[in-house]
Amino acid sequence: RNVIDWQNDIALGDYQLLTAGLYSEAQHAGSQSYGLGYDAPDRINAVYLEDDLNSGPHRLVVAARNTHDQAFGDHVTWNADYGYDLTSATRLTAGAGTGFRAPSAEERFGFGGNPALHPETSRNIELGLRQNLSATQHLTVSVFRNNLDNLIQYTVTPGNPLGINENIASARVQGLEADYLFTQQTWSWRTGVIFQRPENLDTDTLLLRRAERTLTTALDWHNDRTSIGVHLIATSPRNDLDFNTGAPLMDA
């Protein structure tokens, strides 16, 4: 993969920063013995623009990007994020945007490959609160909803026991996320929880291999040369499929 990314930041005043850029990527993936066996070159070109505005307690970031994928054509994505400082310690945030992801060569031609896959697209909204509890303690809480079209999921069926990547026409992930951070000199402790419902709207079931509840916690120590940490991730059970029969396995 060879990438060229040119970015130019232009200060339009003390409170506004305009960013413009060009992106070009040439990639070539191939395999002789894995999956279908493939030789897949691809090129991606993009142009993007972002405007960052600060005025008193207000901050607004608006961005747009046009991506041309050689295999999947042109796609325009955008996002807008707004923050308002209620006090010096409290910020309210709101954001919305869209996303685009083309299937990789491995997803199209590798193990479980499906050359007929469509790109994933998404529409996202989020509302949040950022609170400084003290000089060393910070809390972030947000609610979110992501609507996804053509989500790529690996599926096993009785007629295809080796499995295949397939598009889910309509999916949704919505929930709540909270994060607590404590820092003191060379120590830091971060703990986050996610409560979400990842749904396959085509079948009115939960998406495979996605947990509804996740806990992450990390304790880290560092100095100028060394860092040491202990990280823990715990998740609720996740649904999957029996690789022999394709039957659902609940709470795998």
pLDDT tens string 85-132: 999 999 999 999 999 999 998 899 888 889 999 999 999 999 999 999
Buried/exposed 2-18: b ≥16 CB within 10 Å, e otherwise = eeeeeeeeeeeeeeebe
Whole-structure pTM value: 0.87
Q: What is the pLDDT of residue 81?
A: 98
Please tell me the predicted confidence (pLDDT) of residue 39.
83
Burial-class residue 172 by CB neighbours within 10 Å (0-12, 13-18, 19+).
middle
Q: How far apart are the C-alpha atoms of 144 and 148, rounded to whole Å? A: 13
Give residue 34's pLDDT.
63
Give the up-direction half-sphere exposure of residue 119: CA atoms within 13 A in the CB hemisphere: 16
Below-70 pLDDT ranges, the chain: 34-36, 244-246, 250-252
Residue appearing with tokens 């880290």: 220
pLDDT at residue 162 in the model: 77
pLDDT at 93: 98
Q: Can you give the pLDDT at residue 97?
A: 98
Cite the beta strand spans of the chain per DSSP E.
Answer: 2-13, 16-31, 38-55, 58-69, 73-85, 90-101, 120-132, 137-157, 160-184, 187-200, 205-206, 213-222, 227-235, 240-241, 248-249
pLDDT at 251: 61
Task: Give me the pLDDT at residue 113, please.
Answer: 86
Listed residue (84, 77, 40) closest to 62, CA to CA = 77
